[in-house]
Amino acid sequence: MLWSEIKKWAKEKGYETIKDKDGDITSYYWAKLDDPQASGVSKSVSKLAWDIYNHITDNKWFDHQTQMKQKEEQSTEHIEMSNYATG
């Protein structure tokens, strides 16, 4: 993902983004223009895009990923218990 593309996309969605480079460390700040309390800082362009997307969708993507991880962990636990019982 290119910084310029994400910056343009964020602006279209009503967000301000700032890239701050301090030596080898780059930080990306974002804030909702009509709600400055809705803001954050990201360590990469892709993380910036996800953070803004999660804010736009009220964390639906994050919630989906959390649920999938829980299901995967339960499935793995079930398989381990089955192997233990038959082992």
Would the pLDDT of 15 be above 80?
yes
Numbers of helices and strands, H then E, in the chain: 3, 3
Read off the pLDDT band of 80 (50, 70, 90).
Answer: low
- Rounded to two decimals, the pTM is 0.68
pLDDT of residue 70: 77
CA distance 87 to 85: 6
Task: Select the more confidently predicted residue: 65 or 12.
Answer: 12
- Mean of pLDDT values over 39-46: 95
Read off the pLDDT band of 79 (50, 70, 90).
Answer: low
- Mean of pLDDT values over 41-58: 92
**Among 67, 37, 63, 38, residue whose Cα is nearest residue 52:** 38
